[in-house]
Amino acid sequence: MTITHIIILLATGIGVGFASGLLGVGGGFIVTPIQYMVFTSMGVEDPMKLAIGTSLAVVLPTALSGTWRHNKKGAVWWKPAITMGVCSAAAAFGGARLAIYLPEAVLKMVFGVVVLVAGIRMLIFKPPSVEQEPRSNPWLWAAWAIPVGLISSFTGVGGGIVAVPIMMLALRFKMHTAVATSLAMVVFTSIGGLTGYIMNGWGVSGIPSPNLGYVHIWSWLALATTSIGMAQVGAITAHRLPAKKLRYMFVLVVFFMGGRMLWAGVQDVIGPEALSLFDWLGWPI
């Protein structure tokens, strides 16, 4: 790992931490593509799985930091956060086992499709003219949490990028409650997925050391160093923004990162001739 890689990861951690606290996401939708770029540059044999595992390791402390701040504001609804968190963590653990056997192109395209669909649905969502009560059915919470956990383990996101739209659209949470509760849920989800990637990557050859399964320690440290503190800043900012602006910011970030990763998977299938469409970014994905 070069000094350039370290600078990229430190800078990424700043953006990830802020986005995590602001939008109620773990930040993996930013971390996973950036780490894929770095690990590809380092010549890692299986960069996508290492990027996902390390991303989940970054998501955990970042989400904890943001959740603490949101909880101080009284915005976390703990009952659904814990119920959904436990269910999604179990699904993420099982999904991590399955993801090990999936081709990288599939993981990239799943990542892209999932976040783009979530973004489109958030964009076209219109709040009801009459305010509706949030759904408080624990069985419904659990049912929605399982796909969130699976998606988390396939993509390296903590699940918030999917959980926030679900909480708003299906469970009728208000935007600020969805952001705060989603981030608390992400803490549990990331633990499940992270445990799976550590166990399934144990003893695998070709992973740069020092590592803990599919978690690269130096990358994790560089990202976590800056992301944890910035999650506090993001959470404070979230409570100062109107819900509508917060939603549009969420959608904008989702569209960029989702589209970028989806195209990376398409490139793997089509071949090198597809690279020209996004060459302006200068990324090897």
pLDDT in tens, 223-271: 888 888 888 887 787 777 776 666 677 677 777 767 766 777 776 777 6
Separation between Cα atoms, residue 207 and residue 115, nearest integer Å: 28
Q: For the chain, what are the domain ranges?
A: 3-281
Q: What percent of the chain has pLDDT over 70?
A: 79
pLDDT in tens, 38-57: 888 888 877 888 888 888 88
Residue in 85, 72, 79, 62 with CA at minimum distance from that of residue 145: 85
Q: What is the pLDDT of residue 25?
A: 63
Instruction: For the chain, give the mean pLDDT.
Output: 78
Name the least confident of 58-62, 103-107, 139-143.
Answer: 103-107
Name the least confident of 9-23, 100-114, 137-151, 174-188.
Answer: 100-114
The pTM (predicted TM-score) of the whole model is: 0.72
| pLDDT confidence tier of residue 278, bands split at 50, 70 and 90 | very low
For residue 131, pLDDT over 60 is answered with: no
Q: What is the pLDDT of residue 280?
A: 43
For residue 283, pLDDT over 60 is answered with: no
Q: What is the pLDDT of residue 284?
A: 43
Q: Which residue has the tokens 């935007």?
A: 175
Q: What is the pLDDT of residue 24?
A: 64
CA 155, 12, 27, 222 dihedral sign is: positive
Q: Which residues of 128-158 are buried (b: 16+ CB within 10 A; e: fewer)?
A: eeeeeeeeeeeeebbebbbbbbbbbbbbbbb
Kind and range of the H or E element at 219? helix 217-238
Separation between Cα atoms, residue 189 and residue 209, nearest integer Å: 26
For residue 14, pLDDT over 50 is answered with: yes
Q: What is the pLDDT of residue 130?
A: 47
Separation between Cα atoms, residue 222 and residue 273, nearest integer Å: 34
Per DSSP, helices labelled H in 73-133 are 78-99, 104-124
Q: What is the pLDDT of residue 281?
A: 46
Separation between Cα atoms, residue 232 and residue 21, nearest integer Å: 6
Separation between Cα atoms, residue 22 and residue 38, nearest integer Å: 25
Residues present in the chain in total = 285
Spatial neighbors of 282 by CB under 8 A, at least 6 apart, are none
**Is the preceding omega at residue 210 within 30 degrees of 0, hence cis?**
yes
| pLDDT confidence tier of residue 83, bands split at 50, 70 and 90 | very high
The tokens for 53 are 């595992």
* Paired residues of 137 in beta bridges: none
